[in-house]
Structure 1
Amino acid sequence: MLHLLTSKLDSLLSFEQASAHCDIPCKIYDPSGAQVAALSVIRFIDLINELDGKAELTLAEQAQLSRLVREKEIHAKKVKDEIVVMWGDYFKQPQFDAYPEISQLVHTILLTGSACKQHIDRDKAVALLNLVNEFATAFWSTKGVEVFTATCPYPPSESVVYPKLG
């Protein structure tokens, strides 16, 4: 009896793993998530560097520093994840033909994202944003969408590539 019950339970609990070819629904790709994450990395580094000027940190400031470093690293990884998904799922042969350097750009973004996780160098974070903006320009071009560059309206007030939407 126990064997029969165990067998039935196993069959109820066993199922094949489902998988999809894309991480998100087809045609829903947008580099803005990577851009906001890159802007966040810059802002976290700015906030970390504000604490750096103090001779001694209070316990609350030490806790804030820990959180800032953690969030900086999470957002640097988010940049990498967002770019990899778009590169891996959206870019196909026609896009690679139009932008043969896109794989090298993605590799550079990944390396720069890792550098931002390892350091608190604002220049590295700005370089990451610039690379992501370059990727965004190529991405929107493959969709036939014009872009423009503007300063984001919040700190860190850096230049961001935006799509011109009708």
Structure 2
Amino acid sequence: MFLTDLLKPKTIAYAHCDLPCGVYDPEQARIEAESCYKIIEKYNASSDDQFKTRAIVIKEERAELAKHHIDVLWSDYFKPEHVQKYPEITELCWKAAKQCSKVKGSLDIGEAKTLLDMIDKIADVWTKAGGPTATRMPKAAAARA
């Protein structure tokens, strides 16, 4: 038997940051969605083909990250008691994840705006479900760290 076998964990936990850290916030998805919106604006204002190509690649990455953050909220933060109290959260998260795919494959700024609106609705439920209290550090505590 090797020392590595003794030190190897019996159970491996998986989370968005591999701890799990307990930090779940729709603002992460919103920042990525805002990036998509702004990238589409800049794409439409540009005549530089090289810039436009880069913009598409970056927008697709940001849309995928927004989808990831929505999926993490849905699968790791929202518990059965949240779903019971706020049954709309299931459909909101599912539709928002689908909307991320639309934004990823589109240059329609309306699709990006729709995604932002959906994330805002998720944030409303997250707030009602105690998200800020459960997952955010008080500002004074963060400043002392």
Interval containing the TM-score (normalised by the shorter chain)? 0.7 to 0.9
d(CA) in 2 for partners of 1:126, 1:13 = 50
TM-score w.r.t. the length of structure 2 is: 0.79
1:28 matches 2:16:
no
1:125 matches 2:112:
yes
Shift in Å at residue 92 of structure 1?
Answer: 0.7
d(CA) in 2 for partners of 1:75, 1:17 = 35
Question: 1:161 maps to which residue?
Answer: none
Identify the match of residue 105 of structure 1 among 76, 92, 95: 92
Q: 1:127 to 1:13 in 2, by over 3 A?
A: same
Secondary structure, aligned partner of 1:85: helix
> Larger relative CO (CA 8 A, sep 6+): 1 or 2?
2
Larger strand proportion of the pair: 1
1:39 matches 2:26:
no
d(CA) in 2 for partners of 1:17, 1:130 = 42
Q: 1:47 to 1:144 in 2, by over 3 A?
A: closer
TM-score w.r.t. the length of structure 1 is: 0.69
User: How many residues of Structure 1 are paired with residues of Structure 2 in the alignment?
Assistant: 131
Identity of aligned residues (%): 28
Q: Which blocks of at least 5 consecutive residues in structure 2 are unaligned?
A: 134-138, 140-145
User: Alignment RMSD, CA only?
Assistant: 2.7
Larger helix proportion of the pair: 2
Shift in Å at residue 107 of structure 1?
Answer: 1.1
Q: 1:103 to 1:144 in 2, by over 3 A?
A: closer
Does the aligned pair in 1 maintain the 2:29–2:70 contact within 8 Å?
yes
d(CA) in 1 for partners of 2:10, 2:59 = 33
Identify the match of residue 137 of structure 1 among 100, 124, 127: 124
User: Amino acid of the residue matched to residue 27 of structure 2?
Assistant: S
Q: Which blocks of at least 5 consecutive residues in structure 1 are unaligned?
A: 1-7, 55-60, 147-164
